[in-house]
Structure 1
């Protein structure tokens, strides 16, 4: 196939649209010739010679350009819709920001009091011996440990015994649609749940006795516990942890050239890799179910399977 720009014999040839813009259309028996539009040879069109076209009626031209007008009108409607949706999303985000800032400002005078009460309940909580090695998982309203909130915390020991499992009612958030699409925890599910500070002492009693904290992206969980004043910065930095996610990443072996390290995998990927049966703990949902899966993967890694 030839490129039109490099063929002088086709200089006066035009596409059907180009002829239509001049008020002409190809004859019924016109065959035309297919040519590359330019020397890059990426797009080809059928070109017609001046002898293959005749003057078109106004209706013929209207019929020819109607699909093009329809496409343009549809695109214009879509653009208006997208702009409207983008403006509405921006408006909602701005309203949410204003609401969050107002809530933060309203809560500020009470934060110190809540923290003092939490510390006092830790002191008064009955002394009890807990396992030294635990598995933890959390569900949250988002990814920011100092703006988002805990929705569920689950802790089991290395034998799979449940040490702690509770939903929490957020203090500030009334919706978390993006997180809900992942963890399936709705506002209705936590409407009657305790606030995090009501369980702070019990949680702290377990964490403070732990020598090893095992988790899948365990740093994420601990940061949220720190953001909720369950543990201090010093305690967070002092914990000895086993991050199963990082351990499994090397085993899975998907290397990221950009990060110059092994790519982190989802817990579901790790569980599937070792043929974990989620139905084994049908009564466990959300973070508790993830605790069991994490423990299973951890034991598989330790055994070298």
Structure 2
């Protein structure tokens, strides 16, 4: 997309801009830039993607920097018919190092406190979107409609395992729903978190923000992404920091046993979401060979998760 001109930006912000730095390319439906004005530094995001629209809604409806560890909003508005524009106060600091145990504890303790406090406040914000937990239904429909084709491309072993996964739908959903709802910032990774100059954790990205069970905030812990804690010890440190902070601030206390069982189910649900995306890519013939590599890796992960769930449900 085409970027806004300096004149356009100065009119929107009512400030004179002295420097302009691109942070995110313009080929993803949004542009992210750092601006320097006569008296401040500003982060701007603008574009036509749904995530940015959701982020602006969150800032307009519920996110307040005086009450939450988020950047202060300056402008949140729609420009013309299609462009959404968000200007935030620039936060000086660093991204966390998830190879550092102290950073892991600090970030996930802050996240646990966030989740606990929002589990109470979210009751007053009915307009915030809520997860519908439809991943199993989507998977079932994909398999029902395209089973023969998917079996020919991916093999019957995977398809049989996905049907086995569907058979655990009730157990998985029940464990997700036993956890209180909260406001999930969405996409918790080192790129979307700043440790400011005072060492305070600031969450900076809300394009995927919605109401979900608190366990789903950390559903991706267990993936081997370098942008999150991915080593076994670090994952355990992050999860326990999150749980300890939750139990310190929430109305509903969760035991470690219940939390771990719910997290296992959240991990399975997360992988179902992955498979829905991958299977759709195969069906639509998008990047088939690359997608098959992701599927092979995901199949091994899902197998281990299902085996663990099967052992726990037969005890």
Of structures 1 and 2, the one scoring higher in RCO (CA 8 A, sep 6+) is 2
Q: Which has the larger radius of gyration?
A: 1
The TM-score by the shorter chain falls in which range?
under 0.3
Q: What is the TM-score of this pair, normalised by structure 1?
A: 0.21
Q: What is the TM-score of this pair, normalised by structure 2?
A: 0.20
